[in-house]
Amino acid sequence: MKWNKAEEKCLRDLMESLHEEDWQRSMINVFPHRSWDAIRKKIKRLRIEERLGLTGVRVFVFPDIHFPYQDDKALSIAEQACIDHDPEIIIILGDLIDCEAPSSFKKEPEQLLGLQDECDQAQAFLQRLRTNHPDARIILKEGNHEVRLKTILKNAHTHALSSLRCLRVEALLGLEELGIEYYDSETKLRLGNLKVTHGNVVRQGAGYTAHKEMSCGLSGISGHTHRLAKVWRTKEAGQTFWIEAGCLCKLDMGYLSDTAADWQQGFVLGWVDESEYWHLHPVEIINHTAFWNGKEYK
């Protein structure tokens, strides 16, 4: 029996959201008219198609930007490098907007009225990305700051507005018109054998969060910590890695204490080889200067 597109999408979603040991039980329940052997054959076919689709693909990752607290010089460097790298896949790891107004933190009166400006600045950035990379697959992963919009709409006084599509991030940033995919925090994102997440784990010092994230047994990349690091782990099954992607926001954001934040600016880029291994490289931005592939970016 031929698989239709809706069934294929459902199967892909299950593959991304479930641990492999749970596949048989869950998938048989979802596809009761198909045998487990037929499902396994389809999974194998999807994996082959996925692998062939990623081989040689170039990727570029923008970490936490936090409009309106973006560092314009650091962001410009990342955009220049992205143009030179000419990626087929662009990932924005979340916290694209700071969503300061809906936060529970103490604010000055003028900070209560800044959400539209945040969205306008973010949308201008996304429009530049789409203009510079008309054929790229662009993905925005929801961060904890975007979740603030959902949280405030759960308030007893505003819950009646929660069904309005115009108040969702997708609408506020015009993602559909720009052809940008949006993955909320409940939806897991896997690109081949690479896990992509904003992250909700924070450990002290660059690299320590990466070690914790690697407990999933997969290679992956995350934001959230504003730290830049890459760590590896080698086991009998092979080598995996995890990257903390840094940030592109200011290092002296207004709500921080006088103590210097242990953050690092940067971005991540790379490609996928024929064995489906992701060669991803964190590139640091220091004093508004970055070096990659023999070129200086300022």
Q: Where are the domains of the chain?
A: 5-49, 56-297
Question: What confidence tens digit (pLDDT) does each residue in 154-165 have?
Answer: 775 666 566 667
pLDDT for 164: 66
Domain 56-297 belongs to what topology? Answer: Purple Acid Phosphatase; chain A, domain 2 (3.60.21)
The per-residue pLDDT for range 164-217, each reduced to its tens digit, is 677 688 989 999 999 999 999 889 898 988 999 999 888 988 888 998 888 777
Residue 116 has pLDDT above 90, yes or no: no
Mean predicted lDDT score pLDDT of the chain: 86
Least confident of 22-26, 50-54, 68-72, 114-118: 50-54
DSSP secondary structure of the chain: -PPPHHHHHHHHHHHHHS-GGGHHHHHHHH-TTS-HHHHHHHHHHHHHHHHHHHTT-EEEEE-B--BTSB-HHHHHHHHHHHHHH--SEEEE-S-SB---TTSSS---GGGGG-HHHHHHHHHHHHHHHHHH-TTSEEEEE--HHHHHHHHHHTSTTTGGGTT-GGGSHHHHTTHHHHTEEEE-TTS-EEETTEEEE------SSTTHHHHHHGGGSSEEEE-SS--EEEEEEEETTEEEEEEEE-B-B-TT-TTS-SSPP---BEEEEEEE-TT--EEEEEEE-BTTBEEETTEEE-
Would you say residue 5 has pLDDT above 60?
A: yes
pLDDT of the residue at 201: 85
Report pLDDT digits (tens) over 208-244. Answer: 899 888 877 789 999 999 999 999 998 876 789 999 9
**Percentage of the chain surpassing pLDDT 90?**
51
Backbone angles phi, psi at 165, to 5 degrees: -65, -25
Could you tell me the two tokens for 281? 């490289």
Where residue 275 falls among pLDDT bands split at 50, 70, 90?
A: confident
Long-range contact set of residues 168-177: C-beta below 8 Å, sequence gap at least 24: 169/97, 169/140, 169/142, 172/119, 173/96, 173/97, 173/119, 173/122, 173/123, 173/126, 173/140, 174/123, 174/126, 175/126, 175/140
* pLDDT at residue 62 tops 90: yes
For residue 65, pLDDT over 90 is answered with: yes
